[in-house]
Amino acid sequence: MKITELFFTALRSLLTNRRRSILTVLGIVIGIASVITIISLGKGVEKATLKNLQASSSGKQSTVVDYYADDLNSTASGFEASDLALINASQTSFGLVKADIVSDNDGSAESEASINGADQNVTVKLLKHPSSDLEILSGHNISQNNIMLADPVALISKKLATSFYSSVNQALNTSVTINGISYQVIGVFKEDMGLDDVAISKTTYERSNNGEAGNKLKLTFNRGENVSKQTKKIVSLLNKQGSHHLQGSYEHMDMGAILKGVGSVINGLTYFISAIAGISLFIAGIGVMNMMYISVSERTQEIGIRLAIGASPKSILLQFLLEAVLLTGMGGVLGFGIGCGLAWLISLFLPFRAVVGLESFILAFGVSAIVGIVFGIFPARQASKKNLIDILK
């Protein structure tokens, strides 16, 4: 019997007992849907976690190199124009698009300041927005307008004001010079545990320093470059020839390796949970086997007639095996659709979106087909081994 005839014969047999077939396939649908839902959400978590590893919309990738001075009290910046020239000289070999010095990246900077004619090492708080955490004792706070216009205005702490002036009020409208730029003092604030001495606009600070010095270097690479490998080369070069390599060290945190490790852990957890959910497929497989055994016993007369008209035991085995695979295959396709829909619905309430790929469909259909073969082979073999003489008796 041709494979197409076997297919339609198996399909007609399943449709003859629709209710039983539907109830049997329900276990496969639930199992596959559970696995696909978990894997799709797991892939969504992985994609969101590894987002920083992906290239930008233009295909470019970036990373950051930090400078750490051996002298913790040093206010000298680790990166200067000479470092940019050193890196740019080998820009092509590194696959670099550009290198930029970042003057500050964590909201504060150590700097040397001149207050009332005296030099002082200060901690500068860089404001992206007006700070409500600062308690103004005299004068007024830096406004959003000051920040947007990059006005050279500053707030100083009560400690600095009383150290260099007779009172906090006398400090108002004076100037404080930071890195050669003069800022007008418009207010005095109460120290927050003494951590900050001066507060200025981050925009003003970065514009006034023209990105010529800082302790962070942002590297932008071409599409497809091995960012970790190339950054290590640049760090090695800086530690040998950098402007301050004798006073400190240049370091790079390989976020790529860290995030890939996180991704592997997420993948492991996803597949572990999926395996637990897949136990329902084993239970469903037993249900398929039970149904097929019942079907074989009920259709003894049909098997006898087919053997009598010349059907081979092999064709009998293939027909019943095909019925089991059709049953689980339909369950796999249905389960895949339901799983995708469920994952999408759940992801609407999460900060990431479920990811469904072709491999998920192949997994759903492949696993369901394997379940059909594994749990359908024994009933099919029993059907193929029936003896015509015994059936006629």
Task: Name the one residue in this structure whose structure tokens are 């019942």.
Answer: 294
DSSP 8-state assignment for residue 225: -
Q: 179-188, 223-232, 292-301 — which one is most confidently predicted on average?
A: 179-188
- Backbone φ and ψ of 252, nearest 5°: -135, 125
In 3D space, the residue among 363, 251, 223, 391 whose CA is nearest the CA of residue 307 turns out to be 391
With 0-12 / 13-18 / 19 or more C-beta atoms within 10 angstroms meaning exposed / middle / buried, residue 94 is buried
Token pair for residue 392?
Answer: 């006629």
Please, which pLDDT band fits residue 186 given cuts at 50, 70 and 90? Answer: very high
Mean pLDDT of 264-281: 73
Distance CA 14, CA 245 (A): 77
Q: 27-31, 250-254, 360-364, 389-393 — which one is most confidently predicted on average?
A: 27-31
**pLDDT tens column, 120-131:** 878 888 888 887
Please, which pLDDT band fits residue 185 given cuts at 50, 70 and 90? Answer: very high
pLDDT value at 96 more than 80? no
